[in-house]
């Protein structure tokens, strides 16, 4: 499990899952553990990450950096107090997380295990 407020995970938004998996497997030798058609955990990248299916490229582009939290509610209070805007909250098998946009326009997420 992650350590409180450290980078724990990354996600790459992809528009087409099969092609993205094939590209990263061919380019870097990555393999995957599928969690349904919209998510594949990346294995062999050096840092745990995933491919997340999206309908269009996100406006901020690029990977999503995800931090771990021992106390998700407290972390949400801390980022909003520091000037961030919460843009999404959701639960998934084994955890839950929120996404925020920092004052410079970068989107990040914070998750915790449930």
Extents of the domains making up the chain: 7-113
| Dihedral angle, C-alpha 43, 49, 50, 52, nearest 10 ° | -170
Distance CA 26, CA 43 (A): 13
One digit per residue, pLDDT tens: the chain, 114 residues?
A: 568 988 888 998 888 999 999 989 997 789 999 999 999 999 998 888 999 998 887 776 678 889 899 999 999 999 999 889 999 999 998 999 999 888 777 788 999 999
Q: 7-113 maps to which CATH number?
A: 3.10.180.10
> Which residue, among 11, 104, 110, 91, has the nearest Cα to 54 in the 3D structure?
11
Distance CA 41, CA 10 (A): 10
pLDDT at 18: 93
pLDDT at 7: 87
């Amino acid at each position: 499990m992650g350590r409180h407020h450290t980078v724990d995970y990354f996600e790459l938004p992809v528009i087409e899952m099969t092609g993205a998996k094939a590209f990263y497997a061919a380019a870097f030798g990555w393999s995957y553990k599928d969690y349904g058609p919209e998510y594949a955990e990346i294995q062999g990248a050096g840092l745990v990450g995933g491919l997340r299916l999206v309908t269009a490229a996100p406006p901020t582009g690029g990977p999503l950096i995800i931090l771990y939290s021992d106390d998700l509610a407290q972390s949400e209070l801390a980022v909003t107090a520091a000037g961030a805007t919460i843009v999404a909250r959701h639960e998934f098998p084994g955890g839950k997380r929120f996404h925020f946009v920092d004052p410079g326009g970068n989107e990040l997420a914070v998750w915790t295990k449930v």
